[in-house]
Structure 1
Amino acid sequence: MPEVQSHGIRISYDDHGQGEPALLFLPGWCGSRRVFDELSERCAQRRRTLTIDWRGHGSSARPTGDFGASDLADDALAVIETSKAELVVPVALSHAGWVAIELRRRLGARIPKLVLLDWIVLEAPPPFPGALQSLQDSAQWQQTRDQLFSMWLQGPDIAGLTHYVREDMGSYPFDMWARAGREISQAYAKAGSPLKALAGLDPPVPVLHLYAQPEDPGYLAAQTSFSASHPWFQVSKLNAHSHFPMYEVPDEMAKAIEKFVA
């Protein structure tokens, strides 16, 4: 597997397929790039795919010091530059969307579009900020994490999905979950919401949001309303139920991504 140095930290990634814009798959906090195995394999049949493990995650090296979302953007930039891909479309799972937005800020037209997967793109709902705070509390973090796992696993019983959440994500210690809670909290506090951050990009960038959770029809209605006044934004509710729809409907997602990128 290819590797690259990001400020002295070894970053591991996969590189498959051919054709630009290349897709750059960005996992969420506290999870490896394995979450994209099925989806990236399908996408690689049509174009080049790059799939990253963040520092401290998966096969990448674990830094001794603290790090944040800005460092993750550095990791992604290192992979982009080493790949020599000229045009790259980030495909960001959940709060990796903040990194995708930062990549557009840093690289401009080299990031011609963004694909967001199962993200809270509106302002954070009332229970969520409290959960992010609890993840930063050594006495509460495991209970909060397990509650999130139960919510994320709603839907069909899929062995690969259960293994990814309980074994892969479940392997990360308190300091990583606390870091995730801190960085996500700060991002919402600064931007208000992902949609507000996207609306602040000048010029705007075409965005596709594919999601399964929550089922609440009001969530889709709010995004559809936003799309009506911001035509660069598209949203699609997937025929899936978990927080990781790529384990349920990878074919549907690959087709939607290819249609949007092409």
Structure 2
Amino acid sequence: MPEVRSSGDARIYYEDVGRGEPTLLFIPGWCTTREVFRPLVARCAARHRVLCVDVRGHGESGGGGADFDSDTVLQDLLTVVKASGAGQVVPVALSHAGWWAIELRRELGAERVPQLVLMDWIISEPPPAFADALRGLMSDRWRETREGLFGMWLQDVKDENIIRYTRDVMGGFGEEMWARAAREISSAYAREGSPLRALFGLRPPTPTLHLYSQPDAHEYLDAQVAFSTQHPWFHVMKLPAISHFPMLEVPDLVAAGIEALVSARETYMNTNLDAASTPPA
């Protein structure tokens, strides 16, 4: 499996499979590993080159022996893209890895990053309960807070693979990584306001697809549909899944959504992406 040496002499490992442009760059979120994308890699590599990364300090990638932040992870991802020789890259980001996807678009530009795929993210401003959870993860209540998150994410879930991934893989990360994750996620929301606002600020606008399954709340979907009506470059696909891991639960539908975006088959790709619009509230 390919690796690159990044800052702090950290080894960053990634899979490199398939052929075809654009290259899909799968980015797991905090306290997850590239294993979460395994069903998607097999499906998407039939049509595209796929790079699937273990970010710094996760999975098989080293941490460099010191604390690190989102900027460090971004530089690691840029190093992977450069080493791979990929031309156009479409980030496919799980949850708060979406912040790195947006930064990749800012760093590499619209020609190199023509589209974005975001998965199961709090794409609006974070609700108070989530902000409280982030504070809890940075306190001596971190374990209790993490268990509360796991309980919410696994509510009504029967799939043993999803339960195992959450309990064993995500649960295998300790206090330091969960606190780091909460710190960096909190910082991103404080700086950007919301992912929708950050996406609105990209010029030219970047065709973006949000694939998600939870929360199963009408108002959350309605707000995204309203945003997409005003901003034709943004699209949302609500998936028929009960977990926060639709790539494990309904991988065929997720792969189809990704392919629809990158192959530009949808009619929205013919809209005027430079049209003036208003930012999200």
Following the alignment from structure 1 to structure 2, what is the Cα–Cα distance between the partners of residues 111 and 164? 30
- Length-normalised TM-score, structure 1: 0.98
Q: 2:134 aligns with which of 132, 135, 138?
A: 132
Aligned with 1:210: secondary structure? Answer: strand
Specify the alignment match of 2:174 in structure 1. 173
1:100 aligns with 101
Q: What SS does the corresponding residue of 1:91 show, helix, strand or coil? A: strand
1:6 maps to what in 2?
6
The runs of 4+ residues in structure 1 deviating greater than 4 Å are: none
Residue identity opposite 1:188 in structure 2: Y
List per-residue Cα deviations over 1:219-241 (Å, max 9, x = no partner): 00000000011110000100111
Q: Distance in 1 between matches of 2:124 and 2:101?
A: 16
- Does the residue aligned with 2:99 lie in a helix, a strand or coil? helix
Q: C-alpha root-mean-square deviation of aligned residues, in Å?
A: 0.8
2:120 aligns with one of 118, 121, 136: 118
2:36 & 2:226 partners in 1: Cα distance? 31
Task: Give the drift of 1:63.
Answer: 2.2
Q: Alpha-carbon deviation of 1:259?
A: 1.1
CA contact (8 A) 2:157 2:163 kept: no
Separation in structure 2 between the aligned mates of residue 68 and residue 244 of structure 1, nearest angstrom: 24
The letter of the residue matching 2:70 is A
User: Which residue does the alignment assign to 1:51?
Assistant: 52
Deviation at 1:155, TM superposition (A): 3.7
Specify the code of the residue in structure 2 equivalent to 1:167. D
Q: Would you say the 8 A contact 1:209–1:234 is kept in 2?
A: yes
- Aligned residue number for residue 39 of structure 1: 40
The size of the alignment, in residue pairs, is: 261
What is the percent sequence identity of the aligned residues? 56
Deviations 1:67-118 (Å, cap 9, x if unpaired)? 1111111111111111101000000000000000000000002011000000
Matches within 5 A, 1:251-262: 251-262=252-263
Say which SS state the counterpart of residue 208 (structure 1) adopts: strand
* Cα drift, residue 62 of structure 1: 2.4
Correspondence for 1:244: 245
CA distance in 1, matches of 2:249, 2:128: 28
Indicate conservation of the 8 Å contact 1:27/1:53, yes or no.
yes
- TM-score where L is the length of structure 2: 0.91
| Residues in 2 aligned to 1:162 and 1:48: alpha-carbon distance in whole angstroms | 29
Kept in 2, the 8 Å contact 1:158–1:247? The answer is no
Name the SS of the counterpart of 1:51 in structure 2.
strand
- Structure 1 gaps of 5+ residues are none
> Greater shift after overlay, 60-69 or 229-238?
60-69
Give a deviation string over 1:160-214, Cα, whole Å, max 9, x none. Answer: 1111111111111101000000000010011110000000111111100000000
How far is 1:153 from its partner?
A: 1.6
